[in-house]
């Protein structure tokens, strides 16, 4: 026997609970607009996987992603925002109020802010998930500082991978780029900088088959795809840059999108009035907590002004 889901109307529904979504919630709730945050599977999204954050303004002492998100949430709740620990499974933006069906309820919001973020494409190999935040990272800008004087590896051969490898040389004693091809895909000027950097080394035609260690990542198991040779190498950290994918499948066919990213105007408005988007749902370039928080505030302010 199936139970009919509760039907919940609201003024603002924010889909996603990372920095963009929670920043937006602070603003809309403070403006007196009834606000519900649909958290998704994990409160905080990707940032909840970050063990240490040192570059968020106003917090000179290191704090974890979970701790920062808790502060965002407390502030949003203080202004009256409500949180629904649920995941959206269907949206209909064809008319107002919009329809957002979650696993536990159906919401009928007058306005929606999409802040479902993005996720790094993983290697999908044994040990990777277990060592996220304990040696495996998807953001050199976020975590590079913690590998000062260490030996790290970078997976990938595009612009992001090579740029992040160069960035990591400011901290690490050695950076090894592991690439499944025999040449990089990055722009020539970026390749040149990497090739000329004495700290950067290359493993060509190579894939990682497994990651292992005790409390932290200690070893990376690799295979040469041309010779079939396998071996194990010791690393203190592994940075994966084989691509980033926005979490936006639900919006396909309803919103204007480009390469999976929701297209917005300078006011964070989508092509449908009343639907806004912010954070890594729209940002393919910066992918930083402070940027996402700022974009969330922009979306909220636009919404507030248009509902006065």
Query: Which residues have a catalytic role annotated?
Result: 139, 142-143
Please give the helix or strand (H or E) that residue 262 lies within, else none. Answer: strand 261-262
217: three-class secondary structure by DSSP: strand
C-alpha to C-alpha distance for 76 and 25, rounded to whole angstroms: 6
Residues forming beta bridges with residue 154, ordered by sequence position: 177, 239
Q: Which residue, 96, 94, 98, is CA-closest to 38?
A: 98
Residue 79 near residue 26, CB atoms below 8 Å? yes
Quickly count: other Cβ atoms within 10 Å of residue 12's Cβ: 27
C-alpha to C-alpha distance for 223 and 82, rounded to whole angstroms: 49
C-alpha to C-alpha distance for 246 and 121, rounded to whole angstroms: 10
Q: Return the structure tokens found at 91.
A: 């949206």
What is the number of alpha carbons within 13 Å of residue 24 lying toward its C-beta?
Answer: 37
C-alpha to C-alpha distance for 250 and 88, rounded to whole angstroms: 8
Counting runs of H as helices and runs of E as strands, what totals does the chain give? 6, 19
């Amino acid at each position: 026997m199936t139970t009919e889901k509760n039907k919940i109307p609201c003024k603002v529904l924010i889909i996603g609970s990372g920095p963009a979504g929670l920043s937006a919630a602070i603003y809309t709730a403070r403006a007196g607009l009834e606000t519900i945050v649909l958290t998704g599977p994990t409160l905080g999204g990707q940032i909840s996987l970050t063990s240490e954050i040192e570059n968020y303004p106003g917090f000179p002492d290191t704090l974890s992603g979970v701790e920062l998100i808790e502060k965002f949430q407390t502030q949003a709740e203080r202004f009256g925002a409500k949180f629904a620990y649920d995941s959206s499974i269907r949206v209909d933006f064809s008319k107002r109020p919009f329809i957002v069906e979650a696993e536990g309820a159906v919401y009928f919001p007058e306005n929606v802010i999409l802040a479902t973020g993005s996720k790094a494409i993983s290697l999908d190999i044994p040990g990777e998930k277990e060592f996220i935040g304990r040696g495996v990272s998807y953001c050199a800008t976020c975590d590079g500082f913690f590998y000062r004087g260490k030996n790290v590896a970078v997976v990938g051969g595009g612009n992001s991978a090579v740029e992040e490898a160069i960035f990591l040389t400011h901290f690490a004693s050695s950076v090894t780029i592991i690439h499944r091809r025999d040449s990089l895909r990055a722009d020539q000027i970026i390749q040149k900088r990497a090739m000329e950097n004495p700290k950067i080394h290359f493993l060509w035609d190579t894939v990682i088959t497994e990651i292992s260690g005790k409390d932290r990542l200690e070893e990376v198991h690799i295979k040469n795809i041309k010779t079939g040779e396998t071996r194990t190498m010791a690393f203190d950290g592994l940075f994966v840059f084989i691509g980033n994918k926005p979490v936006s499948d639900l919006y396909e066919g309803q919103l204007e999108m480009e390469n999976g990213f929701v297209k917005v105007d300078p006011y964070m408005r989508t092509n449908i009035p009343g639907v806004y988007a912010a954070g890594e749902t729209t940002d393919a370039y910066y992918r930083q907590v402070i940027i996402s928080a700022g974009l969330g505030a922009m979306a909220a302010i636009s919404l507030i002004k248009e509902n006065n």
